[in-house]
Amino acid sequence: MTHSSILEEEIPIQVKKQPWIRVQNTILARPERATLNWLCSHMPNAVTSDPLTAVGVAGAVIVLAGYIGSRFDPAFFWLATVGFLVNWFGDSLDGSLARFRGVESPRYGYFLDHSADAVSILLILVGLGFSAYMRLDVALSVLVSYFLMCIYVFLYNHVSGTFRISFAALGPTELRIGLIIMNLWMFVSGPSKFAILGQTFSVYDLVFSLVAVTLVCLFVVSMLQAVRRLRREDCPAVLSKTRYEISQLQEQLQVSASSPRPLRAVL
């Protein structure tokens, strides 16, 4: 066995598999859970999770229509608010109903639910960018920063088995409430335009720009914390493999040194 073959030898490493944990430590977690449990217990048997997922996406379409309509009449902000309620109903109940009835489909449900969530947030934020008082580029910056957080959540769930849907005591429900408050603010206050370096902005643009920056910072901080934790957990396995390779190389060198050399032929 050569030196290179020893170093290239594959050493099996056992990776500890952790249970799947759902983390939702939000301000409204308890009352929301109580409400969802009540709705699940009174839901007709004919209603299943898949149609509820479709209802959630339909709510996002209503939000989109309301925001676009606000360009013609600010009263359409109320339609967007109704859309958020419909979106919450479908998005929050689809998985809750499956767990309540004990008919979860871990892979199918996970994939469908979060794919629908991605489409919904795309519709909502693009609609916000086409609303009466918001810039599209600001809304898209919020969309990108939100998707960054989604990437972190999915990656962290894959490597740790922990699915985090709340940060700083805020989750999707709290974000919907924040957007509903913004709808009311825009309806009551109307346009609030000013110029910065020749570009026209509104006070709502500044608020959502701050949201985008906050989400990016939250992504960076959460990512660095996860990297430190995973490095601390994985380094012992890497170190064990390195020590094994060194010990195997030392044994090979000792065997080569102790073996007798063949005598040269005498001419």
Digit-coded pLDDT (tens) for 18-38: 446 766 778 888 898 899 999
Q: Is residue 262 part of a domain?
A: no
- pLDDT the model gives residue 252: 72
What is the structure's pLDDT at 8? 45
Let me know if residue 80 belongs to a domain.
yes
- Listed in sequence order, the residues at least 6 apart from 209 whose beta carbon sits closer than 8 Å to its beta carbon are 138, 141
DSSP bridge pairs for 195: 200
Average pLDDT over residues 198-212: 90
Contact between 218 and 168 (Cβ < 8 Å): yes
Q: Is residue 180 part of a domain?
A: yes
Number of structural domains the chain divides into: 1
Assess if residue 158 is contained within a domain: yes
Average of per-residue pLDDT values in the chain: 83
Distance CA 36, CA 95 (A): 10
- Report the share of the chain in percent with pLDDT over 70: 82
What distance in Å separates the CA atoms of residue 143 and residue 81, rounded to the nearest whole number? 19
Examine residue 266 and state whether it is found in any structural domain, yes or no.
Answer: no
Structure letter (DSSP) for residue 168: T
- Contact by Cβ (8 Å): 179, 60: no
Percent of the chain beyond pLDDT 90? 52
Q: How far is 76 from 93, CA to CA, in rounded Å? A: 26
State pLDDT tens for residues 206-242.
999 999 999 999 999 999 998 998 888 877 655 566 6
Whether pLDDT at 4 is above 50 = no
The answer to the question of residue 265 being in a domain is no
Question: What confidence score (pLDDT) does residue 241 get?
Answer: 60
**C-beta separation of 66 from 123 below 8 A:** no
Asked whether residue 188 is domain-assigned, the answer is: yes
Q: Please tell me whether the overall predicted TM-score, pTM, comes out greater than 0.85 for this model.
A: no
Amino acid identity, position 11: I
pLDDT at 132: 85
What pLDDT score does 231 carry? 86
Whether pLDDT at 244 is above 80? no
Model confidence at 255, pLDDT cuts 50, 70, 90, reads: low
- Return the CATH number at 114: 1.20.120.1760
Q: Is the pLDDT of residue 173 over 80?
A: yes
pLDDT at 186: 92
Note the pLDDT tens digit of each residue in 57-76. Answer: 999 999 999 999 999 999 99
Asked, for residue 264, whether it belongs to a domain, the answer is no
In this model, does residue 101 exceed pLDDT 80?
A: yes
pLDDT of residue 128: 94
The pLDDT of residue 74 is 93
Domain that holds residue 171: 3-257
State the chain's maximal CA–CA distance in angstroms. 109
